Chains A and B, each alone.
Chain A
Amino acid sequence: KNEVEQSPQNLTAQEGEFITINCSYSVGISALHWLQQHPGGGIVSLFMLSSGKKKHGRLIATINIQEKHSSLHITASHPRDSAVYICAVIRGQGAQKLVFGQGTRLTINP
């Protein structure tokens, strides 16, 4: 079993829909990243969080440390949001390397 599990693996929605991508992890962490990888392959860091909630534009990320769970929400989704969204954790204190989920492929149709 992977240390970081994402669901769903694939998600197709219509423009304007509210999107939720989930991430569960089985190890103690010091922080969690949400990353976006576009079809061209580049990776963009969306959020790094260790507690609570962060918001940037139409994107919202939440984390529940006790339940070892994080969600990424996209409001008013748009075709340009189509990408692979990747959850990654930094294990424990003083650790550095990211451990990645398998990614969620999101397609937003116009």
Chain B
Amino acid sequence: NAGVMQNPRHLVRRRGQEARLRCSPMKGHSHVYWYRQLPEEGLKFMVYLQKENIIDESGMPKERFSAEFPKEGPSILRIQQVVRGDSAAYFCASSPELGGEQFFGPGTRLTVL
């Protein structure tokens, strides 16, 4: 059973470009979470999704950020018109059930030039 997969592992974008981060949860997991770790800071919750539904997006910046978890395929975190302050490690986690243990992917390190 493969773990949580994230790609790309490293992503470099210039200011104003779009960044798309993908997360494939563990097999059988229908709950996906995105977290962000800014340089030298702790992890912060961004968004929680179940298949085709956003359940809690209270940690998402109001503009430029969106997330989806379609019926087929990975969850996508999309950042439009990136700025230098978006440079961070973005982690995805999945769990099999409500309130279950969360398993983390390796993260995507986004660098905005």
Binding site for B on A (CB under 8 A): 30-31, 33, 35, 41-45, 48, 86, 88, 90, 93-103
Contact = CB atoms under 8 A, between A and B. Distances in A.
Contacts of B33: 96-98
A45 B104 contact: yes
A44 B91 CA distance: 11
Of B42, B58, B98, B104, chain A has the most CB atoms within 10 Å of the CB of: B42
Contacts of B69: none
- Residue from B58, B101, B102, B107 with most neighbouring chain A CB atoms (10 Å): B102
Nearest to A100: B43
Contacts of A101: 42
Contacts of A43: 91, 104, 107
Interface string B69-113: 000000000000000000001010100001101111011010000
For the residues of A in contact with B, the DSSP-based class is strand
A102 B106 CA distance: 19
A32 to B, nearest CB: 11
A95 B95 CA distance: 13
B42 A86 contact: yes
Interface in B37-73: 42-45, 48, 55-56, 58-59
Contacts of A33: 101-102
Nearest to A47: B101
Given A88-B43, A96-B31, A98-B33, A44 B99 contact: no
A9 B15 CA distance: 34
A96 B89 contact: no
Nearest to B99: A30
Contact of B101 (A48, A94, A95, A97): A48
Given A45-B104, A97-B56, A97-B58, 12 more contacts: A30-B99, A33-B102, A41-B106, A48-B102, A86-B43, A93-B99, A96-B33, A96-B48, A96-B56, A97-B45, A98-B35, A98-B45
